[in-house]
Structure 1
């Protein structure tokens, strides 16, 4: 009992309980000894074994609270203010008329909108969509395939469907009946793709064109487009498929990055990616943070790059719909059916908790998905395991970054009184409620046994348990996290870590609707401390949680998902139109 580390306990009661228990055990032993036993009284000195660590813990807690910024402006407050200003400007410039929307489309993409765009616009306006023009995600997903003619796209899709073990669904949407049917060479369940399309577009009979499209069956992304190449029909090979399941993928999916940033799978960090020591490494540019080519250190920081359970890489211009993809890959992004159809991932206000009654800590429970632990990799470096280790304070010797108030004597004027970045081995475990509830995805029993002994685990938790916390964490699993929309709607503040682009990226603003967390998480201890322990931080957390929920109710509704999918179908219909020739792509050249 006396040897239990108080610095990894999640509450004051947890920390003091071993002290009490060890003192009671010591007292029992002493009083069982004969009164005449030599040195009996001296045994009370053993109480220091448990009192010493607890005293150190109490002092560390007091010192940590005294260092917290109270009066100075926190960098997060600056980011929130800037995000609000940028977001307001984005809303103000949305097109107000159909002519404006057409002009904006032409300005952005240098091509006419697809047939059916006017009906889409009228539906968007009728349903009070605050977003009319911000659909760059669709353009960025579809435009790489414009360099092929419609006939070439259809031929590639047919060839892909006939390829053994490629694991793609070929889906057909009928404009006349507004029904979608998907087929697969060997599978029977399409993971709700046809259900999603029928749910969203089933009332649009006669409005949309017929269209065929390929859908990824796997959680992981699929498509990598070679640089500076165009398929050659005479070569009779439009694409290749490589199975990298349970193997490192970093070199493969970053092979077309500029050569000066390629470091291989040793994960060495180039000088420009080293953390700045003078600043807290908050994400200030989300696009740059997601760019794999700028961050070779990610090779050993995310499970997708170290040993994903399934990864069949398609190299070539094959239009495949997936729910998420990293910056270097070219999957066409479609909303996950989980966001619309699966009860586990849908928000129900009945199970939410008013803000004052929410627990004041960061909450996450879940499975150790993301990669397969084996003898050829180190599960300590997988993204979910790294997060759990940090939150459970299981990294002895790690120093965390914190912002503190400098002594008044060092800042004689108000203008020079700025926060100071410092390091400390202390992490307040009371600020976190983080547990794995299922440890699996191991190629052999040993890695799972190691994780079970390393982490403190909990049993299965109710699916709405996260709604009882003020701060909730969301991060990638094998693919995208289906929890994000639900957590966003809950008025809890979502701290989001991901390397995958999704359909909603154009309409959600980091530092306004959620807090982005870097892959390295060096900023996380200070972010959580400020949001949990300070009055201004708690007020900011409440406001960001409210803003995220209210915006989700305006712009991440089911009808907003429908608008995205509707517009995507229009683009796909133009893409597979066999009468269409190859189109130029804005910003891309051979």
Structure 2
């Protein structure tokens, strides 16, 4: 309003020969009304339109001011007859407002700022022939400067102060982790805000994602999810992908195949006449049965009669060759309802790959053109590489290096698989496996047994500035020198051998006056970070012959420690064993920052966001020393690490509750019940986009 009054003080000037592009218009009396109306509209604007760096009242006022100022300028340009610069002024104002919605260090912010500056210059050229341009440009410039200032964090809450403003004016290059954190926060915000709030919205979102209607009982599931304050109701993509191949066989065939898997002892549960029944038991962890019984009993009035086969071990059980798998995910079978029910089937072929290389079998489901099956190795990326896409980093088909860097493919302890598509539920699996995912019961057990005690967990500020991990040598069966390539052994060796060469990023001054800085990769030894590490094995038992002796000689082995011992450290490492690890939720719920290295998919993959709730580490782990160096030694890194610790703890208590796992199990069972029901065969239901073919 002040700027508007300053502009209104300028008297109309007579037209001259230089003002050929001006069209005299009568001064309207609508400018003030436009200002008032637009201010009120923006004060009731939807929350999604507004930036989130301030409290909501401040945000509303600031954005309302800027938007109103934009329209005041438009009205004044029209009143003065400057029609040519209307479009450039509008582009400038829109671009400047857009800076509010972009995280400070993203390349998009620099691009939008460039658009705004170009539009400002175009506006100046259009009205430069009259001295009136000084008032217009002052008003326009105020908006741009205010947009830049507001886009900077006003406090240290995020540990990122003035990052792209300093880049713009001082040339300070942000650390790569800062960029990843900012993008991840935007992704997480979109994830949470995009969840369906009503049943019609949830149904529409389901049909959009999965190309079919939700299963029977979905409305009851959604009602329970809303009543239980479930934060995530739409994102179940990883689970749905594990179910997708089964649309390629009939429901009758699915049930028959489940009964064929008898060579390997697996647990089998049924829901019959609304009562849970344990048909067979081969679960290594006895507590699984307690949880499964409780799940089925809790939802017995929603679920139909059904049977499920459970894999209690860490390794997967089903790996289907790619040619068959591709057919299964592209087609639906034509069902012959008159076919006899007594058809004979060949016995399942079970391949025992325990204690031996499993790469050839473990990647048979990958396309022949994928990096893991191609004879051509992909070009190595230069410099330190931080994980940007966790889903891709865990894709076995895209990770040929896993053949010689993960114990599951070098010497798995107990890997027995079939290449026939059989419905088996596993609590974790590599991406190349066709097991069906479900929430691991040992997470539920951990909650119920009180594995985490808050009184044992100090505040972040009181923790030791170091990386902590202790554990056994689970992961692979060591013989000869194969253990040197196992993932756990490589991790322990990397961070405890002070002679290992590592890559570290250092901020280097540059520019004419040395005011700009950028990051350069430098080589050091691990000795420079040794004081930041508390890591050792607690046992070395999964080995044979000389391998046991060699491992103990080469790697640190210490006494076992209390479960709570790690809480005294700011950084906790979690790495695969023979499969996914049961300690993950307990670590996330602590006040420490979790570093996570895994090649296993789990049910929660669509709701935990890397660089927001945990720090992802690649299978090669070459970037791990720099992550530790930045987060332990750099002031911004410390703030980022603390924010990740806080966010992970809060999200574990929000979206990984026992109730969330209960309802995830129910949703999976509803999907599975539809897949195995006679109704599917009788109705001929098939997800959109698939082709119908003859088959069983």
Q: What is the TM-score of this pair, normalised by structure 2?
A: 0.69
Deviations 1:201-238, CA, capped at 9 Å, x for gaps: 53334222222111113211111123333799978237
In structure 1, what is the Cα distance between the partners aligned to 2:564 and 2:268?
Answer: 35
Greater C-alpha radius of gyration: 2
Unaligned stretches of 5+ in structure 2?
1-171, 334-341
The residue aligned with 1:532 is 632
Cα deviations by residue, 1:511-556 (Å, 9 ceiling, x for unpaired): 0000000000110000001111121111111111000000111100
**1:242 counterpart = 2:351:** yes
For 1:362 and 1:564, locate their aligned partners in 2 and report how far apart those are by CA, in whole Å: 33
Which of 311-320 and 208-217 deviates more?
Answer: 208-217
Q: Deviating runs (4+, > 6 A) in structure 1?
A: 230-235, 586-590
Q: Deviations over 1:441-469 (max 9, x none)?
A: 0133x211111111222101001111111
Q: What secondary structure does 2:544 align onto?
A: coil
Distance in 2 (CA, whole Å) between partners of 1:357 and 1:585 is: 54
Partner of 2:294: 199
Does residue 227 of structure 1 match 2:325? no
Higher relative contact order structure (alpha carbons within 8 Å, sequence separation ≥ 6): 1
Matches within 5 A, 1:282-321: 282-321=386-425
CA contact (8 A) 2:589 2:652 kept: yes
- Is the CA contact 2:595–2:617 (under 8 Å) kept in the aligned structure 1? yes
**1:167-566 correspondence runs (5 A):** 167-174=265-272, 176-177=274-275, 179-184=276-281, 187=282, 191-229=286-324, 236-237=345-346, 239-261=348-370, 270-272=377-379, 274-277=380-383, 280-342=384-446, 346-375=451-480, 378-393=482-497, 396=499, 398-408=500-510, 414=516, 417-427=517-527, 428-444=529-545, 446-566=546-666
Tell me by how many angstroms 1:79 deviates: 0.8
Q: CA deviation at 1:72?
A: 5.1
RMSD: 2.4
CA deviations on 1:236-267 (whole Å, 9 max, x unpaired) are 23742100010101111112323344667xx9
Equivalents in 2 of 1:268, 1:380: separation in Å? 24
Distance 1:113 1:238, change over 3 A: farther
Query: Structure 1 residues 72 and 138 mapped into 2: Cα distance closer, same or farther (>3 Å)?
Result: same
C-alpha deviations, 1:412-454, integer Å up to 9, x for none? 563xx3211222234410111001001110133x211111111
Q: Distance in 1 between matches of 2:444 and 2:643?
A: 26
Q: Which moved more, 1:520-529 or 1:534-543?
A: 534-543
Change (3 A) 1:88 1:434: same
Aligned to 1:59: none
Q: Partner of 2:106 in structure 1?
A: none
8 Å contact from structure 1 (residues 268, 296) kept in 2: no
Which residue in 2 is equivalent to 1:79? 180
When residues 552 and 214 of structure 1 are mapped into structure 2, their CA distance, relative to the original with a 3 A threshold, is same
Q: Following the alignment from structure 2 to structure 1, what is the Cα–Cα distance between the partners of residues 310 and 521?
A: 47
Picking from 130, 134, 148, the partner of 2:249 is: 148
Alpha carbons of structure 1 residues 489 and 192: separation in structure 2 relative to 1, 3 Å? same
Contact 1:172-1:212 at 8 Å conserved across structures: yes
Which of these residues, 661, 665, 674, is aligned with residue 574 of structure 1?
A: 674
1:94–1:311 Cα change, 3 Å: same
Displacement of 1:286 in angstroms is 1.2
SS in 2 for 1:370: coil
* Per-residue CA distance 1:145-195 (angstroms, 9 max, x = gap): 1211111001101111xx32x232221134623x342404xx486633331
Q: Does structure 2 retain, via aligned residues, the 8 Å contact 1:370–1:478? A: yes
Aligned counterparts of 1:168 and 1:458: Cα–Cα separation in 2: 35
- Which stretch of the first structure deviates more once superposed, 421-430 or 302-311? 421-430
Contact 1:320 1:331 in 2 (8 A): yes
CA distance in 2, matches of 1:441, 1:586: 48
After TM superposition, the structure 1 stretch with the greater mean CA deviation from structure 2, 519-528 or 567-576, is: 567-576
**Alpha-carbon offset, residue 118 of structure 1:** 0.8
Structure 1 residues not aligned, in runs of 5+: 1-70
- Aligned-partner SS, 1:529: helix
- Contact persistence 1:180–1:197 (CA under 8 A): no
CA distance in 2 between counterparts of 1:530 and 1:413 reads 21
Could you tell me how far apart the structure 1 residues matched to 2:571 and 2:422 are? Answer: 40
TM-aligned CA distance change 1:413 to 1:559, over 3 Å = same
Alpha-carbon distance in structure 1 between the residues aligned to 2:625 and 2:497: 11
Give, in whole Å, the separation in 1 of the partners of 2:582 and 2:313: 14
| 1:584 CA displacement | 3.8
- Secondary structure of the equivalent of 1:464? helix
